[in-house]
Structure 1
Amino acid sequence: MLPDLLEKNLNIVICGTAAGTRSAKAGQYYAGQGNQLWKVLYSTGLTNILLCPDQFNKLLEYQIGLTDLVKSQSGMDQKINFGEVDLANFKSKINHFNPKLLCFNGKKAAKFFFNRKKIEYGIQSTKLGTTTCFVAPSTSAIAKRWWDVSKWEELATL
């Protein structure tokens, strides 16, 4: 679907579940109408300008990377077949690039990654190598009723 935006020793890698339909079609991360990622990165100071989805490559200038847990499918989380996820490959990739923080954009990918039915927002007790894991509320427009920018602000302070 979308190419990883990764390099060694980033401050943060933001990990979604899978590319949304609009993002996959456009070839751009978080391109869905109403997705708040670009606004939240700017409002929390993680970027000093408001980037657009077609500028996602510029995130490397801010030591931020992007990936998705599911690389072989796109669409809404409810339609993703998690049986096709290569979790060992994902963990190997994160260990190789060794970011300071791995931030799951929403609970769905985090629940699958940690193999838990329930998960709380914020820093997780489990690390991946030396990478601290963090769960933030989904920036998807569909998740707006659960939106809470405070966890994204917490991520920015880390």
Structure 2
Amino acid sequence: MILPDLLKDNLKIVFCGTAAGNKSAERKAYYAGSGNLFYPTLSSCGFTPRILTPVEFPNLLDYGIGLTDLVKHHFGMDKDLKQEHYDAKSFEQKILQYQPQLVCFNGKEVAKVYFNLKYTKQVGYGLQDKTIGNTKLYVAPSTSSAGRKHWEECIWQYLKNIIN
């Protein structure tokens, strides 16, 4: 496993990415790439009171936030991942076990894979119709620097408004 899941019962939100990026795998910390907007966005949207550093990711549990990925045993850019690396079934089992209020897919690519769609154009941002048990699903623009052209912080701000 590249990065351990950060999960416990009854979290407010679990963020799910595709896989650890190269820097995250190297540093053993979620969203560790220098251009990643994950931690600044959590702070600016009010999920955390300050910008955490990637090595502080375990502290997210203190704010009701968990982390996981659909690919747990490989790392790299999305374009380098293979279909067989994804494990949506294990992801679903974890969500059913821990029952967070909401899962937010960090980017359309991870949502596309989870929803078993062919194109990211088939994925819309925001709250989804599908749930996992009682857990609501949400898609937000990727915080990765590779996805900057699709960045819209307002979708992340709306996310903060729909969780308790």
Task: Please classify the TM superposition score into its range, dividing by the shorter chain length.
Answer: over 0.9
In structure 1, what is the equivalent of residue 48 of structure 2? 47
**Structure 2 counterpart of 1:111, one-letter code:** K
Q: Distance in 2 between matches of 1:137 and 1:76?
A: 16
Q: Contact 1:122–1:135 at 8 Å: present in 2 too?
A: yes
**48-57 vs 85-94, greater mean Cα deviation:** 85-94
The reply on whether 1:56 has 2:60 as its aligned counterpart is no
Q: Distance in 2 between matches of 1:17 and 1:85?
A: 8
List gaps (5 residues or longer) in structure 2: none
In structure 1, what is the equivalent of residue 149 of structure 2? 145
The Cα of 1:86 is off from its aligned counterpart by 2.4
In structure 1, what is the equivalent of residue 77 of structure 2? 76
**Structure 1 counterpart of 2:107, one-letter code:** G
Deviations 1:2-32 (A, max 9, x none): 0000000000000000000000010000000
Q: Contact 1:2–1:71 at 8 Å: present in 2 too?
A: yes
* Secondary structure at the counterpart of residue 136 of structure 2: strand
List gaps (5 residues or longer) in structure 1: none
Two-structure CA RMSD over aligned residues (Å): 0.7
The reply on whether 1:122 has 2:133 as its aligned counterpart is no
Q: Contact 1:95–1:128 at 8 Å: present in 2 too?
A: yes
In structure 2, what is the equivalent of residue 136 of structure 1? 140
Matched residue pairs, number? 158
Q: Distance in 2 between matches of 1:121 and 1:59?
A: 23
Q: Distance in 2 between matches of 1:131 and 1:65?
A: 13
The Cα of 1:83 is off from its aligned counterpart by 1.6
Q: Distance in 1 between matches of 2:88 and 2:38?
A: 24
The Cα of 1:89 is off from its aligned counterpart by 1.4
The Cα of 1:132 is off from its aligned counterpart by 0.1
* Secondary structure at the counterpart of residue 104 of structure 2: strand
The reply on whether 1:27 has 2:28 as its aligned counterpart is yes
Calculate percent identity across the aligned residue pairs: 46
Deviations 1:110-139 (A, max 9, x none): 001011231000000000110000000000
Runs of 4+ displaced beyond 6 Å: none
In structure 2, what is the equivalent of residue 38 of structure 1? 39
| TM-score, scaled to structure 1 | 0.98
Deviations 1:7-60 (A, max 9, x none): 000000000000000000100000001100000000000101110001001100
The Cα of 1:82 is off from its aligned counterpart by 1.9
**Structure 1 counterpart of 2:128, one-letter code:** Q
* Secondary structure at the counterpart of residue 103 of structure 1: strand
